[in-house]
Amino acid sequence: MTADYKGKDYTASLTTGNPDLFSGTGMGIAHYLQSVTPKLSLGAELAYQASPQIPGGHIGVLSGLARYSGEDFSLSGTISNAGSLHACYYQKCSSDLSVGTELETNLRMGQSTATVGYKVDLPRAGFVFKGAVNSDWEVKAVLEKKLLPIPFTLALCGMINHPKGSFQMGAGLIVG
């Protein structure tokens, strides 16, 4: 369950998942983002989870957020007390093409993953094609085709992980 509120220069969100008051389990996320200037926003996020499987029975992670936006680009980042860093850059190249890159780092585990992706949107043909490749050699792609005049979209997706030698494929029907 999620509740969002968008003010004139800020957004706030509360999310809860699988709450069970009898066993004391569940998760909750509180998020706040404040516009400091027309292009710069700063915020914070608190994620909390309670479960008997977690050492100590619960865990909380506090993150600081920043986003700098322009007319056709966005640069954002987060840093958390759990030792994770996340940076993302998005660029709209044309009315049909967008590209982005993402870097996720866990300082405690000494792991990083970089991803480069793109989106091609052809509205006249009713096609959207998205794809990404990351530093773990995972290649992902999604093709969406609107089935006009009915309000359905056919989605075909695939993922291949070269080091693991795995391949997954899926299909879906989106209503609306």
For 60-83, write each residue's pLDDT tens digit: 999 999 999 999 999 999 999 989
Reading the block at residue 94, the tokens are: 């044309």
Q: Is there a single domain that holds both residue 118 and residue 155?
A: yes
Domain with 16 in it: 1-67
Residue at 176 is within a domain: no
Put simply, whether the predicted model's pTM sits higher than 0.75 gets the answer yes
- Does the pLDDT at position 176 exceed 90? no
Print burial letters for 65-92: b (CB count within 10 Å at least 16), e (below 16): bbbeeeeeeeebebbbeeebebbbebeb
- Does the pLDDT at position 98 exceed 90? yes
Residue at 134 is within a domain: yes
Distance CA 76, CA 94 (A): 21
Residue at 115 is within a domain: yes
Residue at 142 is within a domain: yes
Number of domains in the chain: 2
Residue at 3 is within a domain: yes
Neighbours of 20 (CB within 10 A): 10
Q: Is there a single domain that holds both residue 57 and residue 89?
A: no
Q: Which of 152, 100, 147, 141 is nearest to 126 (CA)?
A: 147
